[in-house]
Each structure stands twice: as structure tokens, then as C-alpha cells.
Structure 1
Amino acid sequence: MTHGTHSIDRTGFFQGAGAYLMWGLLPLYFKAVIAVPAVEVLANRICWALVLLIAITAFTGRIDRLRSVFAHPRAVAMLAVSAVLICVNWLTYIWAVQNAHVLAASLGYFLNPLINVLLGMMFLGERLSRVQKMAVLLAAAGVAVLAVEAAAGLWISLTLALSFGFYGLVRKTAPAESLEGLTVEATLLLPVAGGYLIWRASHGGIALGSSPGITILLVLLGAVTAAPLLLFNAAAKRLRYATLGLLQYLAPTLQFLLAVLAFGEAMTGAHILCFTLIWIGLAIYAVDGVRSARRMRPAPIE
């Protein structure tokens, strides 16, 4: 019997692809609520996500795990930092979509894997291989081109890449699993989000309840937030990291295609050169990751 051969888990693959597909199509959702201010969309996202996350936590019998996280001061402190980071990331992304900067947003998420490599080197003591250095340098060159030739939306790309990169770094070291961690983050953000909605309601009204369509879309933000995360967590348990790492490029690719083909955002020469350099860097990085995974695979046992 041969042990060591590897085939992709189909269920895990479809779960992972489903998660990244939902994240990739998210601009369509935020375009549907473009009449609602970005901060108000964010506040609704936090509140309704918390409602759903608490329901899922209770349904899966993980309330005790959630309580244990709240009883851990270090965990709460770290999740407070990650909550601020994901809040910045979400707000920037929503604003970018509503203001026709989906192209810049997709660039941010293309940069994210390479930002993660740099953060691992800087904060986790990880060493960059020659191939990884080449990939990072190509991405840096692409950003430099955009900074010189078309810097208008570069702040969006860098804010998204850095906020999500640091978010992942904090969550990697925080003593909390994904579901409980996200629930704690949403709970910590609730006073600000809820307070903003209350203030907004007393100063001219809020979009929630203004029309059936908008109200449904805002309430469903909870599911839109939680569903891909749950699919991703399920996929992460079934798939190799290399496979999951390749799937992550599905989301920014879809965002890129939506920006250019559906939303008509302009592609300048600087954008083309920047994306080309980053795509080459990502291709080098992805191929190196697959080769490394194969080298680490145990030898077959007959």
C-alpha cells in the first residue's frame, strides 16, 4: 500500500474556492449599497456579523470556548488590536468600492501574500529564500512604478495590504481560534458601531429601515462576513497550505476583472506595468511554494 501520495480533497477545494469566490465578488455587494455611507455600511457589518457569530457559537456548542477567551486578558488585548486593524481594512475596502477604486483594492490583495513574507521576516524571525527575495523585489518595483506614475490610489492598496497583513500577524499569535476570535473582535467593536448607528439615527436617520431592499442587504452583511470565513476555516482543515495559498489569488483576480470589465475603471500604462511585475513575483512565489511542499512530502512506503 502506498501512503504519501497526495490528491486534492474535493470538498476542501470547493470550500476554499467558495470562500475566495465570495470575497472576490464582494464589490458587487458593496456597489448595491452605494447609497449608504461607507461608515454606516461598516457599522451594520459589525453589528449583524456579531449577531450571526454568536448564534453560530451557541449552535456549535462553543460558548465555553468564547468565555475562556474573554477570561484571558492577553488574548483580549491582542484581539482589540486585531479588531482595529480589520476595522480599518473593512472601512478602506468599502470606501474604495463605493468610490470606483476596485482596481487599487485588488492590487492591495495581490500584494498581501508578499507583505506577509516580509512581516514574517521582520517579526517572526523567518528567513527569505532567494526566490522569495526576488518575488518581493519585483512587487516593490511594481509599487515604485505606481508611486511615480499613478499614485492617486496607491494609499488604498498599501492600507489594505498592510492592515490585513498585520491583522494576520496578530491573529497568528493570539491565543484564540478563528470563530471565537472574530466574535470577540466584533464584540469589542460593537460599542463604537452601535453608538455610531444610534447617533446617526438621531441626526437625520439611518439607511436601515429606509426601504425593504436596503434593509435586507444591510442585515445580510452578517452572513456575507461570516460565510466565507467559515468556508475558509473548513477548507484550511482539509487542504495543504500550498493549495490554499494558490486559491487565495482567486479573490483579487475577480476584483481586478470586475474593476476593468464591469465597473469600467481605467488601466493606465503604470497600472499594467505594476500588475505585471507583481503577477510575475506572485507566480515565482507560488511555484516556489509548490516545489517546497513537494520536497517536504514524505517518501512513499510500500
Structure 2
Amino acid sequence: MQTQQQGALWVFAAYVLWGFMPIYWKTLHHVSSGEILVNRIIWAFLLTVLALIVVGQGKKLVVDFKELWKTQKQFWGLCAAAFLVSINWGTYIWAVNHDFIVQASLGYYINPLVSVLLGIIFLKEALNRNQKFAFVLAAVGVTILTFHYGVFPWISFVLAFTFALYGLIKKQIKLDATRGLAIETAFTVPVALIAYGWIFSTGDAVIVDTDPMTVVLLILTGIATAIPLVFFAKGVTSIPLYVTGFLQYIAPTMMLIIGVVMYGESFGKFEWLSFAFIWVALLVFTVPEIVRYVRNKRMMIRLEKQGHSHQV
């Protein structure tokens, strides 16, 4: 059985890989975001299905699909999730290759707060005082950035809301991570193929007239998509929620550093001020949850010891 330390390492590896993704997309800057996205969908589907067949899970994939079809709400819910994550992928790739890595990182910073907001709206969850304060701080941070840019940071919000909605739907559908990815991409592959056909018809398809390295990188977008998802699914079930909560800030922090240090994106006093509000909001939001978890854990251990001593 996997230990918490092993689980944390798997999840850590997933977030580090996601954190490095801007570098991968930047190497494909000469390919349109649309063509990268359709390649990502098509190759993620083909390579995931191939991997499942190789490890002898092809029949399980068919069974999962049939079981999903029996529950129409879950079937169409996963279909919606597939298109939401495709919008997320497309927006992220476009943002990276149009020098908006900093704004993309902001989207993944505010994602946990958006997830809580969706929990209130759809799951009727209540906010405590710390969470309300965190929302006010985050709102101030986003407002500062909006006034500084002169436009609403739509990239951040599209990334945050699509991924939060995706997570909300996926939370209610129990599927193996790899088989789930195969079924998700099966929903979007027909649209991706039609889109690629249109890109070919306009003569804008780079894959037919480019260097071999670009072709390889486009094919490997499928593996780049699948590996961190599988790592995350492998580890997340064996670690406490607060550990996942802290580890999820690795990826946007790496994105922010990469955007500013490697690609020279602007990060002046207004960005510092805005992000400071966001970071404080995340601390206000996360730390009390950790304290509550540790306190409850200690109480459970104490009760177990008391129960054991009574038995003896």
C-alpha cells in the first residue's frame, strides 16, 4: 500500500511537470495555438488508448464507457468536462505563446478560490469567516490588476473557471484517471479532427511542412498531457487534502518565475501589489484548513488511544 510520502511525491512530480509546461509550449511558438490544441487532443486520445491496450485494460475501458452510458447525467457531465478542459488547454497554450504567462499563473492561483465559490453555488456549501476574508483580499488583488491593465484579466478567469468547473464535474464521476482521460478525449476528438481538416484546407497546417523535431513535439503533446494527470491521480488518493492544497501552488509559482525570468514578461509594482493580495488571500484560505486538519487528526489519535486503553 502506498504511503503518504510516496503519494505526496507523485503529486509533487505532477505539479512540477505542469509548472514546466510553458517552456514546452514556447518551443512550439511557430505553430498556431489551434493546431497545437488539436494535436494535443488527438495524440492524448491515441496514446492513452494504446497504453491501455498494451497494459491489458482495453476491455475495462469498454466496460467503463458502457457503465457511463447507463447514467446519462454522468455521461453528458463528462462530455461537458471534456470540452471545458479543452477550452482550458487552448486558452493556456494561447496565453503562453502570446506572452501572457504571468496572467496564466494568476488564473491557477485563484483557481482554488473559484472552486470554493462553485461549491457554494452548486453544492450549497457555506463560507467561514476566513474564507470570506480571503475572497475580499483576492477581489482587491484582481481589481488592482484590472485597473493597471485597463482591461479585465480574462485569461486568468477563463483558466480559473474552466478548470474549477472541470474539477467540480470530475469530483462527481468516479473513473480511473487513465481510462477517464481516454473517454474524455474521445468526446473531443471528432471536433478536433474536423478543426484539423479545416486548418489543412486553409493551408495553415504546419505539421505537413516543418522540421522533424516539430512533428515529434506535436505528437508528444499527448504524452505531456497524460503523464502529469496519471501522476496526480496515482498520488492524490493517499495524501490529505491540505497537502494537495499546498502542492497545487507549485505550478503557478513556477509559471510566474518562468514568465518573468526566462521570457522577460512585465512584473512591476502593480503586479507585485496585486499578487501580494492574492498570496495573502491564499494563506488566509489555506492555513486555517491545515490547522483544523492537524487538530482533528490529533483528536482522532487521542480517541483511538483512549479506546485501546479501555479495551486493555
1:100 alignment counterpart: 99
Q: Deviations over 1:46-86 (max 9, x none)?
A: 01100121123224443344323432233321111111111
Structure 2 residue runs without a partner (length 5+) = none
Identity %: 35
Does residue 215 (structure 1) correspond to residue 215 (structure 2)? The answer is yes
Q: Deviations over 1:244-285 (max 9, x none)?
A: 111000000000101111111111332211100010011122
> How far apart, CA to CA, are the structure 2 residues paired with 1:185 and 1:40?
19
How far did residue 293 of structure 1 move? 1.2
Quick one: structure 1 residues 290 and 263, their matched pair in 2 at CA, closer, same or farther if it must change by over 3 Å?
A: same
Output the TM-score relative to the length of structure 2: 0.89
Specify which of 39, 42, 47 is matched with residue 42 of structure 2: 47
Root mean square deviation, CA, Å? 1.7
Does residue 268 (structure 1) correspond to residue 268 (structure 2)? The answer is yes
SS of match in other structure, 1:238: coil
- What letter corresponds to residue 269 of structure 1 in structure 2? K
Q: Once structures 1 and 2 are overlaid, which stretch shifts more, 264-273 or 145-154?
A: 145-154
Is this contact kept in 1: 2:181–2:226, CA < 8 A? no
Residues 143-162 of structure 1 aligned to structure 2 (within 5 Å): 143-152=142-151, 154-162=153-161
Q: Once structures 1 and 2 are overlaid, which stretch shifts more, 12-21 or 54-63?
A: 54-63
How far did residue 183 of structure 1 move? 1.4
Q: Deviations over 1:6-51 (max 9, x none)?
A: xx73322221111000000100000000000000000000011001
Structure 1 residue runs without a partner (length 5+) = 1-7
> How far apart, CA to CA, are the structure 1 residues paired with 2:100 and 2:167?
23
2:295 alignment counterpart: 295
Q: Deviations over 1:77-117 (max 9, x none)?
A: 11111111111101100000000000000000000011111
Larger radius of gyration: 2
SS of match in other structure, 2:202: coil
Does residue 21 (structure 1) correspond to residue 16 (structure 2)? The answer is yes
Residues 8-87 of structure 1 aligned to structure 2 (within 5 Å): 9-71=4-66, 72=69, 73-87=72-86
- What letter corresponds to residue 290 of structure 2 in structure 1? V
Q: Once structures 1 and 2 are overlaid, which stretch shifts more, 267-276 or 170-179?
A: 170-179
> How far apart, CA to CA, are the structure 1 residues paired with 2:204 and 2:105?
33
> How far apart, CA to CA, are the structure 2 residues paired with 1:120 and 1:246?
19
Is this contact kept in 2: 1:69–1:75, CA < 8 A? no
Quick one: structure 1 residues 205 and 259, their matched pair in 2 at CA, closer, same or farther if it must change by over 3 Å?
A: closer
Quick one: structure 1 residues 294 and 60, their matched pair in 2 at CA, closer, same or farther if it must change by over 3 Å?
A: farther
Is this contact kept in 2: 1:89–1:160, CA < 8 A? yes
How far did residue 139 of structure 1 move? 0.7
> How far apart, CA to CA, are the structure 2 residues paired with 1:295 and 1:221?
43
> How far apart, CA to CA, are the structure 2 residues paired with 1:270 and 1:64?
54
Query: What is the aligned residue count?
Result: 295
Q: Once structures 1 and 2 are overlaid, which stretch shifts more, 29-38 or 113-122?
A: 113-122
> How far apart, CA to CA, are the structure 2 residues paired with 1:60 and 1:288?
43
How far did residue 240 of structure 1 move? 1.3
- What letter corresponds to residue 274 of structure 1 in structure 2? S
Q: Once structures 1 and 2 are overlaid, which stretch shifts more, 116-125 or 248-257?
A: 116-125
Q: Once structures 1 and 2 are overlaid, which stretch shifts more, 192-201 or 256-265?
A: 192-201
Is this contact kept in 2: 1:76–1:184, CA < 8 A? no
- What letter corresponds to residue 160 of structure 1 in structure 2? L
SS of match in other structure, 1:204: coil
> How far apart, CA to CA, are the structure 1 residues paired with 2:257 and 2:204?
36
Q: Once structures 1 and 2 are overlaid, which stretch shifts more, 196-205 or 231-240?
A: 196-205
> How far apart, CA to CA, are the structure 2 residues paired with 1:267 and 1:259?
9
Residues 205-284 of structure 1 aligned to structure 2 (within 5 Å): 206-209=205-208, 210-284=210-284
SS of match in other structure, 1:108: helix
> How far apart, CA to CA, are the structure 1 residues paired with 2:174 and 2:242?
24
> How far apart, CA to CA, are the structure 1 residues paired with 2:160 and 2:133?
19
